[in-house]
Amino acid sequence: MTNKLYFTSNHTKEEQRAFAAIQKEQSVIGYYALPNQDIGAITSYCATLSTEITTIAVIGIGGSSLGAKAVYEFMKPVQELTRKLYFFESTDPINISDLISKLDLSTTHFLIISKSGTTTETISVYKYLYTLQSDPKVYTFITDPGSPLEKYAHSIKASVLHLPDSVGGRFSVLSSVGLVPLALCGIDIEALLLGAKKIKNSFFNDGYLKETLLKKAVYYAKNHAQYNINCIFAYSETLKYFCQWYVQLWGESLGKHQRHSAFHVGLTPIGLIGPKDQHSFLQLIMEGTRDKSVTFIKIEDFHEDIVIPDITLPHLEMLDTLNNLPFSKLINMQCDSVVEALLDQESIPLDTITLQSVTEDNIGALIFYYELLTSLVGELIDVNTYDQPGVEAGKIILKKKLQQR
């Protein structure tokens, strides 16, 4: 993975301060240690699952599903996976019924994932599934030690796995929350962690990414009032769900009251997919208000070399310049062309990230890169990156409504 910034930022003091804060944070915030974890317990657990199980269904929402989904959907089109993975992430009755109709209950194993163990959506759907399939052997629970859900799981003698200490939901993809469903589908979680470890080492041990990440974070923080919107423009359909994971990570971490002021601050994440969104959102970036930064993500080698054939269509000869071009080249030329066009404009901060290929290693790297960037920006805009107090009010109102009905 490489990252090139097309904007300049020269604030050595802030960079040093942010780096020091993040170094210090490592002892209290759990996600930093995940690339170096021992996955023995996870692989042992996965080996216990019968090969007759062909489908894994995750019952979880937000941080309990978005990370695994991002990696699964990245790898699925390029790799023969050993099991299918479905996600129950809604209380929408149409969605629940539709998903259930796709499952063969006799060959499905369910992962009930909830950090707190009392997530309304997750428990509601679980209760419903339980009426269809009440064998405790087909359920595994992933939750915090001591949660009500763990106690329940023990009461029915179902398997339980834990989240590691101090790992928040949206930073949990490289913990059991993401690794268990992914490993069960045949995704190489060791390679995933290795990719993350490379980024971690590069950042903390003065590697090439340290300066880039610090400059980018300081630029975003310093200019957050003008550039309140941060777009990812990824040139591959495989990164669609990575974008959704990024939206949660960025939005929920950085949209806060400041710790030392009465101000609301926040940076708004947007995920775009190229070339599709050249036909949707690009106009707004190009000619709209100068309130957006854009990070382009490219894949260097798609390992899929289908080529535009060398045929001339009558009346469409002007498009013969496409002939003999591999699609993988075309999509990257499209990306480069848009980058060039935007660089001709004023006041649109751009950078480009290049992944070498569609592998676990690369998505692991990209995930850890964005986690570090989020932590840095959170520190620099003076928010608590790891809580989400704003979602409580709605939950309290719902609880009252439920009691009153």
Q: Which of 13, 157, 279, 315 is catalytic?
A: 279
As a whole number of angstroms, the longest Cα–Cα distance in the chain is 72
| Nearest distance from C-beta of residue 120 to a copy of itself, angstroms | 7
The answer to whether the CB of 59 falls within 8 A of the CB of 111 is: yes
Residue 384 φ then ψ, to 5°? -85, 105
Nearer CB in complex with a copy of itself: 174/338: 338
Nearer CB in complex with a copy of itself: 16/357: 357
Q: Which two tokens stand for residue 29?
A: 């915030």
| Nearest distance from C-beta of residue 211 to a copy of itself, angstroms | 28
Nearer CB in complex with a copy of itself: 47/311: 311
Q: How far apart are CA 178 and CA 175, in angstroms?
A: 6
| Nearest distance from C-beta of residue 99 to a copy of itself, angstroms | 9
C-alpha dihedral sign at 195, 353, 77, 246:
positive
Nearer CB in complex with a copy of itself: 205/321: 321
Q: Which residues contact 287 (CB under 8 A, 6 or more apart)?
A: none
Q: Which residues contact 260 (CB under 8 A, 6 or more apart)?
A: 382
| Nearest distance from C-beta of residue 277 to a copy of itself, angstroms | 8
Residue tagged 């944070």 (tokens): 25
Nearer CB in complex with a copy of itself: 194/229: 229
257 is catalytic: no
| Nearest distance from C-beta of residue 157 to a copy of itself, angstroms | 12
| Nearest distance from C-beta of residue 60 to a copy of itself, angstroms | 9
The answer to whether the CB of 195 falls within 8 A of the CB of 364 is: yes
Q: How far apart are CA 307 and CA 234, in angstroms?
A: 21
- Identify which of 31, 89, 84, 34 has the alpha carbon closest to the alpha carbon of residue 60: 89
The answer to whether the CB of 52 falls within 8 A of the CB of 158 is: no
Q: Which of 137, 264, 276, 395 is catalytic?
A: 395
Instruction: Give the helix ranges, DSSP H, for 205-239.
Output: 208-222
Buried/exposed 341-368: b ≥16 CB within 10 Å, e otherwise: ebeeeeebbbbbbbbeebbbbbbbbbbb
| Nearest distance from C-beta of residue 108 to a copy of itself, angstroms | 18
Q: Which of 15, 89, 252, 379 is catalytic?
A: 252
395 is catalytic: yes
Nearer CB in complex with a copy of itself: 20/307: 307
Q: How far apart are CA 177 and CA 112, in angstroms?
A: 10
- Identify which of 111, 16, 98, 18 has the alpha carbon closest to the alpha carbon of residue 375: 18
- Is 151 strand, coil or helix? helix
First-last CA distance in the chain: 53
317 is catalytic: no
In which element (H, E) is residue 55 found?
strand 55-59
Residues labelled catalytic: 252, 279, 395
